Structure 1
Amino acid sequence: MLKKMSLLGLLTLVLLLTAQTFAAPAVITFLSPETDPSSIKVDNSIIAAFEKSHPGVKVKLTHANLNDVLPKLSAMLRAGTAPDLAYSSPKFVPPLVDQGQLVTMDDVFKKLGDIPRKFVTVNSKGRIYDIPAAQEVRLLYYRKDLFTAAGIKPPTTFDQWLKAAKALTVDTNNDGKIDQYGISVTGAPPEVSYDFACLLWANGAELFDSKLRVAIDSPKAVEALEFLGKLKEFSPPGVANTTYKDVSVNFANGVAAMALYPGRMLLNIDRYNPGLAPKVGIVPVPYGPGNESKKPLTHTAINNFIIFKTSKNVKAAKEFVTFYMQDKQYLAFLVGSAPGHSLPVRNGWLKNPDYFADPAIAKWKDLVKESMDYSFKYGTDFLFRHPGIVDPYVGRATADPTFSREMNRFISGESSAKQALTATGEAWREMFGIK
């Protein structure tokens, strides 16, 4: 009898061990808008290292274009197929929190320990629902050599900016054709709204005011869009179809003397014209006549991690975020995906010797440090405009095609600045039921 019981116990143990051996691993679905080959390569290397150190977990990387992230997430949430984890934007956090879609991340934030609280998205619950991962800083890139040759200084005001753009739009070889333009600006939707947001804030205007009323059609906003129209006159032809990438190529190849752009510009200079590097300078976005503070700004866009409540693997997803943000992986992310574009948000990295000594950063060290200094001094973003106030509208508003479509109609000469912004403002009031 005892022998039979021993055999039965042994058989049970074998079956249990076999079941554990062949149990399906936990799968984390990770949605990212970073579709650049170098970014995908870095993500896959971090995923491989995580899976090696967490043998019971697999990470499935999926992608959506940056402009399609919100629509794709909305569709997935409605269908009950949301990812476990997403690399996202703070603009999407407040409405997702209000809908009860996100997991709190206070524990991960505390464990990492050195991310400034100001980078965490303000929300109606007062908890931490996102982990800031990187900052992208949009600045005015300019050609130091061309400014020196023309005897002009980098601009600090709209008026100086326009004069510089005009002075640097020239026929350099006297063949009767302009071959160097003062600036290159975006005009193609949806990217035209990127430049306009900077000019809007620089002129003291807002998309929504501190009482969450639509403000995009205010006189100061109209003045900012009219200024963009003036800059357009000193930009290469075809502005209405000029994309975000076109702007960086125009600057890198010497077609334009200025460009409003984030740090990915450095990557494109390395790619298209590496000899240009010593001739490149940066300054914050100049301020307009409507800006009573007379302070410049930088558009500091935060990228973050969020985890959805529908996830069946919340613990594993949090472990992945923590792993991703730790030193070895974080360095690989910062220097491997888009060096100089994705800048550190962790305080411990502001003077990290390994980061600044990395070959991808070392040649741009001064510009990267300058970008970070400007960001901490002048940085703003859609959800930083009114400290302590939760804006539930801005994510949907900026993703609404009306915004970029009306900007493009203005750039194309189909409407005035006032008409374009009035149409946008009315669409938003109807969308959100704001009187």
Structure 2
Amino acid sequence: MIAKKLGVFSAVGLVLVLLLAWAGPALAAEAKVVNVWHTETNAASRKAIDNIIKRFEAKHPGIKVKAEALAWGDLEGKIMASMAAGSPPELSHGQPITCAALQAKGVLLPLDEVVAAIGENNLWDQIKKVGKFGKHYYGLVHAAGTSLLIYRKDLAQKKGLKNPKTWNDLLKAAKALTMDTNGDGKIDIYGVTIPGDNLFINILMGELIAANGGKLFDEKNRPQFTKTQMIQALNFLKELTKYMPPGWEGHGYRETFANMYGGKAAMMFQGYGRGASLIEQYAPKGWASTDYYDVWIKPHGPSGAKPAAQVDEETWMLFKGSKHPKEAIEFLKFFYKDPEYLEYIQSVPIHFFPITKSLRKNPAYLNTPMVKRWKGWLDVQQYYLEKDLAKPTLIIEWSDMNNKPYLMEILGSGILKDMVMEVTKEGVPAEKAAAKAQKRAEELLKMKGYLK
């Protein structure tokens, strides 16, 4: 009987051993999965993120990171749908105004632990202001890239043009750089180009109002579209469009940059460091340098005293209701360590301005070939950041980050773009177009409960 029982126990033990052996891979496959959504769809950045993930997973065998690159047009909708379904990702990029709106709704978790690991004093002051709400960080910028006024240096030198200080100076430069180069009576090079899509028009209007000493909304959330600063900005744009390529209003960012490197435009008002890579790819042979494509500090308006720039700095956001927020925090800590972060920054080195002072001073970063070639572009970006002249889309004052959670809805409404197009393309007087936009914005904010 004892032998029989021992035989049974041995058989059971063997079965258990076999079950454990079979289940081992399955159990290992059940690692904690951290879902990461980001907006860097270019191949170099995707590869850098994949490499960082591989090294992270090697050091954290119980964690798997699943990264997904999403176009901007898809990201916002996917975030909202995931929250509605109760299954948000652990981490996602989002515009600062998106971060502000979601933080106001109480759906984000703080990233203070990540900031502490980086060292708060190691962050640029501008970066701190973007994601900090009250005493906590609910957003942390992945990298910063300010807008740039890019110009054809060779043509400007031939015309004897200097950095325009005012909007009027810029109009004069645009006129001088609009040229018929072969004498056939047709314009070959236009003075300036800008993207005409909704996002970039919103970026542009935020910049212009800031550079003209104005506001988009007052402390009571009332639109300020009919104020002098807005009327001046609209009339400035109306004049500036005289020197833009036909069809500019339908051009996206890539098409606008094609105007620059293709020799069709001499200035690009809404340029970014990412464009240096496009210039190196597509500009005529021997032209891919700051001898031909350089940057000026942006001018200010008649009611302003200093320039303003927009900064492209999506924040990482950590979502309540996600399955593995602690593991997501560990991933972000790893992501911002200099060896890892350096690879990410080097994937788009002129647009990805590092958020850490330590990496900006790191010889490995400074010796990046592209950083050396386009140093002046980075110096201007640092000037904007250090002087507190660069702010996120539609943010005029830093208090707007906390007090105006409706800015994402204003951007999505198309109100500002419609106003600009009415003035520049349809010939509607600035005052009339502004009054119409004012009414539409007031109605939207009343409907959303932000304006009484």
Matched, 1:399 2:407: no
2:230 matched residue in structure 1: 221
CA distance in 1, matches of 2:133, 2:406: 13
- C-alpha separation in 2, matches of 1:207 and 1:72: 28
1:118 and 1:335 map into 2 onto residues whose CA distance is 21
AA in 1 matched with 2:442: R
Do 1:157 and 1:286's aligned partners in 2 also have CA atoms closer than 8 Å? yes
2:160 is aligned with what amino acid?
A: G
**1:286-320 superposed Cα distances (whole Å, 9 cap, x missing partner):** 001011xx112222232221111111111111111
Aligned match of 1:184: 193
Match of 2:342 in 1: 331
Paired position in structure 1 for 2:359: 349
Pair 79,425 (structure 1): closer, same or farther in 2 beyond 3 Å: farther
Task: Show the counterpart of 1:373.
Answer: 383
Give structure 1 stretches of 5+ with no counterpart: none
The CA distance in 2 between the partners of 1:308 and 1:348, in whole Å, is 28
CA distance 1:97–1:194, change in 2 (3 Å)? closer
After superposition, the C-alpha distances for 1:98-120 in whole angstroms (9 at most, x for unaligned) are: 22211111111101112235423
Post-superposition offset of 1:235 = 0.9
Aligned to 2:263: 254
Moved more, 227-236 or 121-130: 121-130
Q: CA separation in 1, counterparts of 2:155 and 2:204? A: 23
Q: Residues of 1 paired with 2:212 and 2:127: CA distance?
A: 24
The verdict on how the C-alpha distance between 1:75 and 1:217 changes in structure 2, with shifts beyond 3 A counting, is: farther
Bigger mean CA deviation after superposition, 148-157 or 31-40 = 31-40
Letter matched to residue 318 of structure 2: I
TM value normalised by structure 1: 0.90
Aligned length: 432
Residue identity in the other structure for 1:38: A
* 1:116 and 2:89 aligned: no
Tell me, what secondary structure is at the counterpart of 1:207? coil
- Three-state SS of the structure 2 residue aligned to 1:187 is coil
Counterpart residue number, 2:51: 45
Q: Equivalent pairs: percent with the same residue?
A: 30
Structure 1 residue 175, shift from structure 2 partner: 1.2
User: Match for residue 431 of structure 2?
Assistant: 418
Identify which range, 358-367 or 13-22, moves more after superposition.
13-22
Q: Distance in 2 between matches of 1:233 and 1:367?
A: 27
Note if contact 1:168-1:257 (Cα within 8 Å) is conserved in structure 2. yes
Give CA-to-partner distance per residue, 1:337-386, whole Å, 9 cap, x none.
x2201111111122221112112322112332332223322323347533
| 1:166 positional shift | 0.4
Q: Which SS does the other structure have where 2:314 is aligned? A: strand
- Pair 1:22 & 2:26 matched: yes
Alignment of 1:359 with 2:369, yes or no, is yes
User: In structure 2, how many angstroms separate the alpha carbons of the residues matched to 1:422 and 1:42?
Assistant: 48
Q: Distance in 2 between matches of 1:308 and 1:184?
A: 39
TM-score by length of 2: 0.87
Higher Rg of the two aligned structures: 2
* Cα pair 1:135 1:343 within 8 Å, conserved: yes
Deviation string, structure 1 residues 171-209 (Cα, Å, up to 9, x no partner): 111111110111112223343323232222211222223
Deviation at 1:394, TM superposition (A): 1.5
Question: What code does the residue aligned with 1:426 have?
Answer: K
Structure 2, unmatched stretches of 5+, are none
Determine if contact 1:205/1:216 at 8 Å carries over to the other structure.
no
SS at match of 2:108: coil
- Contact between 1:130 and 1:305, CA under 8 Å: does it hold in 2? yes
Alpha-carbon distance change, 422 to 136 in structure 1, aligned in 2, over 3 angstroms: farther
Per the TM alignment, residue 13 of structure 1 is displaced from its structure 2 partner at its CA by 8.2
Of residues 383-392 and 34-43 in structure 1, the stretch that sits farther from structure 2 once superposed is 383-392
Alpha carbons of structure 1 residues 362 and 270: separation in structure 2 relative to 1, 3 Å: same
Q: Identify the residue that residue 90 of structure 1 maps to in structure 2.
A: 96
Residue deviations 1:38-74 (CA, integer Å, cap 9, x gap): 3323222222332333222222222432244333322
